[in-house]
Amino acid sequence: MARIGIIGLEGRMGQALVAAIAAAGHVSAGGVDQGGDLAALAAASDVLVDFSAPAALEANLDAAMAAGVAIVVGTTGLEERHHFLCDAAAETIPVLQTGNTALGVTLLAHLVREAASRLGDDWDIEIAETHHRMKVDAPSGTALLLGEAAAGGRGISLAEHSARGRDGITGARRQGDIGFASLRGGTVAGDHSVLFFGDSERITLSHTAESRSIFAHGAVRAAAWLVGRAPGRYAMGEVLGL
């Protein structure tokens, strides 16, 4: 039974986490929002779960390190410097950072990596994602996670083989690129599809999120798994033993 503290309590994910913690039989150590006593929350917790905002990540990691507790970072829209911050914190505490905590997406990323590693680069890879109208970042953290899985399967850098925002006369598709398309509208919790296009055939691997509760349940499972681990950088795949 883990004591789980929530960073971003009043947000949509924060409220879903409260219910997921209770359903899993763990203990809620409370939660904070902007201006709250983060140090006190960290001291009362075995592990923190952060679904706040990129601008708050450095302070959240500092609080976790000061208290010597693990942290799950589910905040999306992170930049390269945020990953450096996670790397630095992981030298002191266990850090699990992911673009998606859903267990189904974790397995999907594993399947995408497998498919990309076994199909040649003459197969074109495109990632399509749909989210609610209020989402502020694109591509989604999950789409980028899937893109990294595909790039990892091929042994290439996503940054060097990423195609986004096609508009106008763009020319023919460059072989080996991983394309992204983002749709926004309504109240969609999250739809993701990775399409592999070969000559005269196509493979589609998809995941549909019907409720935000799946992200909360996955985050709670990850948090409980992370308690007691050695300092280091961890991923959702390890939670499932992948």
Model pLDDT for residues 175-195, shown as the tens digit of each residue: 999 999 999 999 998 999 999
Residue 192 known to be catalytic: no
The average pLDDT across 210-229 equals: 95
The pLDDT-based confidence of 32 (bands split at 50, 70, 90) is: very high
The average pLDDT across 221-231 equals: 97
The tokens of 58 are what? 């450095």
**What pLDDT, on the 0 to 100 scale, is given for residue 11?**
83
Residue 131 known to be catalytic: yes
Asked whether the predicted pLDDT for residue 49 surpasses 90, the reply is: yes
pLDDT in tens, 96-147: 999 899 999 999 999 999 999 999 899 999 999 999 999 988 999 899 999 9
Residue carrying structure tokens 């209770």? 22
The average pLDDT across 25-52 equals: 95
Asked whether the predicted pLDDT for residue 12 surpasses 90, the reply is: no
**Catalytic residue chosen out of the listed positions 26, 82, 131, 217:** 131
**Catalytic residue chosen out of the listed positions 83, 110, 132, 135:** 135
CA distances from 133 to 41, 101, 137, 184 (A): 32, 21, 11, 5
Q: How high does pLDDT run on average in the chain?
A: 95
